[in-house]
A and B are shown apart, each in its own frame.
Chain A
Amino acid sequence: MKRMTSTAIAPAQMTPALPVSLNGVGRSFPGAPGEPERLVLRDVELKIAPGEIVALLGPSGCGKSTLLRQISGLDRPTSGTLTIDGTRIAAADQRCAVAFQEPRLLPWRTVARNIELGLPRGTDRAVGRARVAQLLELVQLSHAADLKPRQISGGMAQRVSLARALARNPGVLLLDEPFGALDALTRLTMQDLLVDIHRAEPTTIVLVTHDVDEALTLADRIVLLGTRFDRPGATISRILEVPGTRPRDRASTVLARLRAQLLDALGVPSHHDR
């Protein structure tokens, strides 16, 4: 697999990676009429260092996307506070960039014009065009620049969404299952790509994933979200440090042991000999 050189990834202008802090974050949604409100997240305490990659892992519906929306400022917590770089997160905080769980591309815009949407407001046209071309190459979609979203596959659309999130060199990059719709092989390529991007520009990344191996390949820390049987609302049940520097050997025995621990924690028998 061809590795991108760092120069190909060098951003137009460097944005420093920013620290994120979650202090007792909780979110409940109003229940159906006549029913009590439903607590989805509670007491989430997490400090993320600048440039760190954190993987959020947890069962479906436990609130991973909801937590990511709190960090992006697209949704407000019902309790607790969040800060980026020490200041309170604003509504739709522009220090973040999000790649949503669904690609959410504008159907009437071409791939290139969709990526353009991710550029900071008021970017010079020529600079913007160069940046978009660079990002297209990065996600291996140069050939698809002029196609409309309905003309590309789900995996391609997800890569466009990733490129759009990268366009602004965000201080905090929020990725919600960014490689979920990719085939196994492209998924590995994109993971390597993300590692390369991060090495060229070590921004803070919070990555939601269902894939234990993906978390182990990419993250500095893996944060497990879970719900205790005796009380409602998911919270952090465990935090694992992943040893070693990226790029990691996917077959290493240390990772295999961590994988077994994670699967156990997620309630999946790992069949791993200890």
Chain B
Amino acid sequence: MSFDERGGAPVSRPSTTEGREAASREPADGERANAGRRVTLFGWAGFEGFSAAGTGLGRGGAGRVSVGTVLLGLVVPGVLLLVWLLASELTPIPDYLLPSPAQVVGAGVELANQGLLGTYILISLQRVLLGFAIGASIGLALGAVVGLSGVADRMLAPTLGAIRAVPSLAWLPLLTVFLGIFETPKITLIAIGAAFPVYTTVSAALRHVDPHLVEAGRAFGLGRLALLTTVQLPAVVPSVISGLRLALAQAWLFLVAAELLASSMGLGFLLTDSANNGRTDRIFLAILLLAILGKTSDALVGLGERALLKRWS
């Protein structure tokens, strides 16, 4: 099953649009149509990005998590679910403030029947992965240059530091003006957010590679490039991975920021849209989905981390 089919098909199904109740949730025609096409357009690229990250990081599939660990980790969510259930059933808090778990599931089923749930999840996922892949690559390249070259450090670090100091959301209006309202500005924003954690951790780590090891490499005849691949890069693998994990978290953060403010699709849009319509059940649904997706993607990187650390330490 390809990403385009899942992302694109529901949009073209008549029931999708017919089933809508509130006009306010109807996105601008232009973007709606375009967004559908964009899904297809970016679907391929997004899928590529995903599989690249997947094979790169999850290779080996090492790191088995024991059943006990998983069960232990599920204790608190289970208790929370129970508290939520009891609170919604036994207290007089009205449903529009605190929907029951069943209502939230119902909201999900309803959205799924309209064909929106899958679309929203996929478009959000696609934005995150694409933005993350682009941002992390740029961060890696910048981090390597600044971390390895004293000249580049003195030349670029102040500027990059200043760019990093700009609060993320400040970019959004500018990006919208420059890049339009479709996928590009959102992915750019996410890429900006993902680039900096990688840049910072990688450049710092490269600067602090044990000089003794570098000297040993030099003594045994390694030139600049060989030194980089034999000593410096392997030495920073753990930092690169923690940078990537931070970047992924940032990517989700920036995704929601972008979708909350300027979007007609995706989980962030679902949040604002539902807030405007008083659909607390859908807000709960969106938050739960973000938690699950964020945690899952982080766990996947974590699996890759274990495999890599086993190899590189």
Contacts and interface: CB of A to CB of B under 8 A. Distances in A.
Contacts of A97: 219-220
A118 interface: yes
Interface residues of A, number: 21
Contacts of A121: 221, 226
A132 B301 CA distance: 36
A141 to B, nearest CB: 18
Contacts of B231: 106
B313 interface: yes
A75 to B, nearest CB: 9
Interface stretch (B57-65, B210-218, B275-283): B210-218
Interface string B298-313: 0000000000000111
A120 B216 contact: no
B219 A102 contact: no
B212 A74 contact: no
Nearest to B212: A104
A72 to B, nearest CB: 6
Q: Could you tell me the dominant secondary structure of chain A's interface residues?
A: loop
Contacts of B220: 97, 117-118, 164, 168
Nearest to B215: A74
A179 interface: no
A74 B312 contact: no
A18 B234 CA distance: 35
Contacts of A98: 216, 219
A120 B221 contact: yes
Contact of B217 (A94, A117, A120, A168): A117
A100 B212 contact: yes
Q: Could you tell me the dominant secondary structure of chain B's interface residues?
A: helix
Identify the interface centre among B219, B221, B235: most chain A CB within 10 Å of its CB.
B219
B313 A72 contact: no
Nearest to B238: A108
Given A94-B221, A107-B313, A102 B212 contact: yes
Contacts of B213: 104, 106
Interface in A96-150: 96-98, 100, 102, 104, 106-108, 117-118, 120-121, 148, 150
B296 interface: no
Given A104-B212, A108-B312, A92 B219 contact: yes
B221 to A, nearest CB: 5
A38 B71 CA distance: 63
A104 B216 CA distance: 7
Contacts of B212: 100, 102, 104
B237 interface: yes
Given A100-B212, A102-B212, A108 B234 contact: yes
Nearest to A96: B219
A193 B275 CA distance: 79
B230 interface: yes
A96 B219 CA distance: 8
Contacts of B234: 106, 108
B143 to A, nearest CB: 19
Contact of A72 (B219, B226, B230): B219
A217 to B, nearest CB: 26
A92 B224 CA distance: 13
Contact of B221 (A92, A100, A108): A92
Identify the interface centre among A72, A74, A102, A108: most chain B CB within 10 Å of its CB.
A108
A108 B313 contact: yes
Interface of A: 72, 74, 92, 94, 96-98, 100, 102, 104, 106-108, 117-118, 120-121, 148, 150, 164, 168
15 contacts: A74-B219, A92-B219, A98-B219, A100-B212, A104-B215, A104-B216, A106-B213, A106-B230, A108-B237, A117-B216, A117-B217, A117-B220, A120-B221, A150-B313, A164-B220
Given A92-B219, A100-B212, A108-B235, 4 more contacts: A104-B213, A106-B231, A117-B217, A117-B220
